[in-house]
Amino acid sequence: SAAEKGGYDYFMLKEIAEQPKAVADTLLGRIDPSGSLTLDEVRISPSELREIDKVVIVACGTAFHAGLIAKYAIEHWTRIPCEVELASEFRYRDPILDGRSLVIAISQSGETMDTLMALRHAREQGSKVLAICNTNGSTIPRESDAVLYTHAGPEVAVASTKAFLTQLVACYLVALYLGQVRGTKWGDEIQAVIKDLSRISEEVERVLETMEPVRALARTLAAKNTVLFLGRHVGYPVALEGALKLKELAYMHAEGFAAGELKHGPIALIEEDVPVVVVVPSPRGRSVLHDKIVSNIQEIRARGARTIVIAEEGDEAVVPYADHLIRIPATPTLLQPLVATVPLQVFACELATARGNEVDQPRNLAKSVTVE
Ligand code: AGP
């Protein structure tokens, strides 16, 4: 009913709008004022966590994209090797696991069969399993050694939005917690990240306030067949997520690429007026990546692409090559997915509407996939 949708036409719109609160709620009570993390819920003891020599993340779909981003954070902040694998592939390839592996299963519903089977396999090998889940008491957390709940509230639309942002927050918390427990050198960078993380829900809110031009742009693309997405570093999984949203909702051919791979094949897809969304890393910090992606934008534009550039405020280098420029607040690179994904959700939702598709219930899809 309209009341259930809180005045929005679709649950998806409501859930996109709820993201600042979902993010804040997932952080609530987990970072103390001194900047240290309290994750009592993670009932794997600090001494066990100190023994971990490998992290393996298993998930499907959007949750898998959260896992891909988590890998950058976990390896950078903790120096523990981290693999990410599609849950449906995991147990069939005889993965190397033992009691020193920490397996993280990410699932909004907690009922995804592929993810459940992957975690059962991991536990049979003696690994500890930590679930990141949005649904209290669901099967995946019940069968795990520990659970860190995301506090997104119920997600009704089939296309995952607020659950994804809170999965990212949970992954950052786990990464920072592992660093804290293991005594990773707690440098200024980590302190700054914790501070930025505790303020990030306001930045998500600011992004939401500036989405009208994104909607207008989406409507002009309703008759297109293809949209491509490019990113680097954590922007690469963001590109994959943007493409997945568009497939699910707009039923368009959408593909995400690592920008560095362009020259190894995908650049052949670039032709006159094909829309290419590019997620640009911050020019601060890892500026090498930034400069490389700016030259990618130049290259594809020279070949006729219509460039839709998502770049942080103050990044002037992209301006000459952007047919459409979407601004996001400046954040540390690793946290950028929390703000960069939002315009892609809005874009896909509006394109779906413009194409006359059912936003909350896309064809052929179920909210939770309880079969293998
Ligand atoms: C996302 O928009 C999808 N509908 C889908 O990829 C989903 O993320 C995936 O099926 C995993 O679901 P889960 O998080 O409930 O395990």
Residue-wise pLDDT tens digits, 136-161: 999 999 999 999 999 999 999 999 99
Q: Which atom of ligand 1 is nearest to the CA of 108?
A: 14
Question: For residue 146, what are the β-bridge partners?
Answer: 130
- Flag whether the ipTM exceeds 0.90: yes
Q: Using CA positions, which residue lies closest to atom 16 of ligand 1?
A: 107
Tell me, what's the pLDDT at 3?
Answer: 80
**CB 138 near ligand 1, within 6 Å:** no
Task: Using the predicted structure, report yes or no on whether residue 191 has a pLDDT greater than 90.
Answer: no
Q: What spacing in Å lies between the alpha carbon of 135 and ligand 1's midpoint?
A: 13
Contact 158, 61 (CB under 8 A): no
Q: Using CA positions, which residue lies closest to atom 4 of ligand 1?
A: 159
Task: Using the predicted structure, report yes or no on whether residue 186 has a pLDDT greater than 70.
Answer: no
Query: Among 369, 370, 371, which is best to mutate for testing ligand 1, by the most ligand atoms less than 8 A from CB?
Result: 369
Across the chain, mean pLDDT equals: 94
Tell me, what's the pLDDT at 372?
Answer: 86
Q: What spacing in Å lies between the alpha carbon of 368 and ligand 1's midpoint?
A: 7
Buried b / exposed e over 211-232, threshold 16 CB at 10 Å, is: beebbebbeebeebeebbbbbb
Task: Using the predicted structure, report yes or no on whether residue 121 has a pLDDT greater than 70.
Answer: yes
Q: Hey, how many other C-beta atoms are within 10 angstroms of the C-beta on 129?
A: 25
Which residue has better confidence, 328 or 285?
328
pLDDT digits 0-9 by tens, 240-285: 999 999 999 999 999 999 999 999 999 999 999 999 999 999 998 7
**CB 112 near ligand 1, within 6 Å:** yes
Tell me, what's the pLDDT at 174?
Answer: 95
Q: Is 363 exposed, middle or buried, given 0-12, 13-18 or 19+ CB atoms closer than 10 A?
A: exposed
Report which of 73, 90, 91 is spatially closest to residue 82, judged by C-alpha positions: 73
pLDDT digits 0-9 by tens, 227-243: 999 999 999 999 999 99
Buried b / exposed e over 3-30, threshold 16 CB at 10 Å, is: eebeeeebbbbbbbbbbbbbbbbbbeeb
**CB 132 near ligand 1, within 6 Å:** no
Tell me, what's the pLDDT at 180?
Answer: 87
Task: Using the predicted structure, report yes or no on whether residue 287 has a pLDDT greater than 90.
Answer: no
Q: For the whole model, what pTM was predicted?
A: 0.97
Q: Is 326 helix (H, G, I), strand (E, B) or coil?
A: strand
**CB 166 near ligand 1, within 6 Å:** no
Q: Is 144 helix (H, G, I), strand (E, B) or coil?
A: coil
How are strands ordered across the β-sheet holding 253-258?
253-258, 226-231, 275-279, 306-312, 324-328
C-alpha to C-alpha distance for 251 and 362, rounded to whole angstroms: 9
pLDDT band at 182 (very low <50, low <70, confident <90, very high): confident
**In the chain, how many H helices and how many E strands?**
13, 10
Query: Among 160, 241, 364, which is best to mutate for testing ligand 1, by the most ligand atoms less than 8 A from CB?
Result: 160
Q: What spacing in Å lies between the alpha carbon of 108 and ligand 1's midpoint?
A: 7
**CB 150 near ligand 1, within 6 Å:** no
* Catalytic sites, residue numbers: 367
Q: Which atom of ligand 1 is nearest to the CA of 140?
A: 16
C-alpha to C-alpha distance for 142 and 161, rounded to whole angstroms: 24
Rounded to 5 degrees, φ, ψ at 137 are 70, 10
Whole-angstrom CA distances from 324 to 141, 293, 294 are 43, 16, 14
Strands (E), 302-357: 306-312, 324-328
Q: Is 70 exposed, middle or buried, given 0-12, 13-18 or 19+ CB atoms closer than 10 A?
A: buried
Tell me, what's the pLDDT at 189?
Answer: 77
Task: Using the predicted structure, report yes or no on whether residue 192 has a pLDDT greater than 90.
Answer: no
Lowest model confidence (mean pLDDT) among 46-60, 89-103, 256-270, 279-293: 279-293
Task: Using the predicted structure, report yes or no on whether residue 34 has a pLDDT greater than 70.
Answer: yes
Is the Cα torsion angle 148, 59, 278, 163 positive or negative in sign? negative
**What does the DSSP 8-state code read for residue 285?**
S
**CB 160 near ligand 1, within 6 Å:** yes
- List, in order, residues 6 or more apart from 107 with CB less than 8 Å away: 59, 60, 63, 115, 131, 132, 133, 134, 138, 140
Query: Among 12, 85, 108, which is best to mutate for testing ligand 1, by the most ligand atoms less than 8 A from CB?
Result: 108
Which residue has better confidence, 125 or 183?
125
Which residue has better confidence, 1 or 297?
297
Q: What spacing in Å lies between the alpha carbon of 276 and ligand 1's midpoint?
A: 24
Mean pLDDT value of segment 294-323: 97
Contact 296, 230 (CB under 8 A): yes
Structure tokens belonging to residue 322: 């952007």
Q: Is 246 helix (H, G, I), strand (E, B) or coil?
A: helix
- CA 55 to chain centroid: 18
